[in-house]
Amino acid sequence: MVLLNQKRDSGAFPYPAAERVIASALAEDAAADDVTTRWSVPEGLMARAEVVTRQHGIAAGLPAVAAVFDQVDQQVEVKELVTDGSPLRPGDALLRLAGPARSLISAERTVLNLLQRMCGIATLTDRYVQAVAGLPVRVLDTRKTAPGLRALDKYAVTAGGGHNLRLNLAAMVLLKENHITAAGGVGAAIAAVRRGMAREARDVLIEVEVQTVAQAEEALDARVPCIMLDNMSLPDMARVVHLREALTPAADVVLEASGTITLDTVRAVAATGVDVISVGALTHSAPAVDLSMLLSTT
């Protein structure tokens, strides 16, 4: 079976992307001109701090904290107390920090903004993964990420046990409704893409989005590697799975379910026999995990 993407190695934190995001966040916050901290906190005061969660969740993005202090103040020592992907309980400490108090306080919001978002994405992803536990299906993200944060958002999905679909528009061909309309139909769009691939001597994965069983049959006949079943009913998805199984070999075509799939519906979708389920909400609607940084000067 063609795999849309293998799960990202949990150690493959996207440092270059994180460094760009952190530089932008620190500039946006004017962290280098934190007048409140500079005027109220004694220069040279050393402190310790812990980042603590107030709720259950999944840890994600811890390497970003050291990357923040690489840009703010390299005197700050960062010790990770858990690893990305670890379950969190209320009161758990994720990190321990030590260094100049001014630096800790000025960087606090950037640290928490990154961690709260990434832990939130990992936590919601874990809930979807647990909802389909025991069924042979994988949970995927989409490109519905915050502008500029895609690499971090997608990394957080993998920390929660999910998988990445495509990083950007150049990573693979995904023929969606508007492409198909503009091209004149499913078959015409697939044929045009294959001509374009041959013309440019490129070989990338092709997936086509369909909304009806008839369109799915057309895509199956064209033997595209992956078919996205968009907003289909459960009976229609099961019908397409049956049609796929009649192919020889059936496993050459991956079926992806997509379209407003919630925690309440994801298991029923998985039970139709699709191979993967993509959920935009993982990155566009994940609630932030409630974290705080607690400082001590003693």
Q: Same structural domain for residues 119 and 141? A: no
- Identify the pLDDT of residue 251: 64
Q: How many CB atoms lie within 10 A of CB 143?
A: 18
Task: Point out the residues that are catalytic.
Answer: 109, 144, 176, 209, 230
- In this structure, the answer to whether residues 102 and 170 fall within a common structural domain is no
Report pLDDT for 227. Answer: 97
Evaluate if residue 279 carries a pLDDT over 50: yes
Averaged pLDDT of the chain = 94
Asked if 216 and 165 sit in the same domain, the reply is yes
Do both 146 and 97 map to the same domain? no
Total number of domains constituting the chain: 2
Domain shared by 168 and 252, yes or no: yes
Q: Give tens-digit pLDDT for 50-95.
A: 999 999 999 999 999 999 999 999 999 999 999 999 999 999 999 9
Q: Are residues 121 and 138 located together in one domain of the fold?
A: no
Tokens of 229: 């079943």
Of the listed ranges 52-66, 130-144, 222-236, 245-259, the one predicted with least confidence: 245-259
Host domain of residue 211: 132-284
For 164-182, what is the mean pLDDT? 94
Tell me, what CATH number does 124's domain have?
A: 3.90.1170.20
93-149 pLDDT, tens digit per residue, is 999 999 999 999 999 999 999 999 999 999 999 999 999 999 999 999 999 999 999
The percentage of residues in the chain with a pLDDT greater than 90, rounded to a whole number, is 92
pTM of the model: 0.94
- For residue 6, being part of any structural domain is answered with no
Contacts 24+ apart (CB under 8 A), 78-86: 83/10, 83/59, 84/10, 84/13, 84/59, 84/60, 84/122, 84/159, 85/10, 85/58, 85/59, 85/60, 85/122, 85/159, 85/160, 85/161, 86/58, 86/59
Mean of pLDDT values over 42-48: 97
Domain check: are 201 and 219 in the same one?
yes
Clarify whether residues 234 and 261 are in a common domain.
Answer: yes
The answer to whether residues 184 and 69 belong to one domain is: no
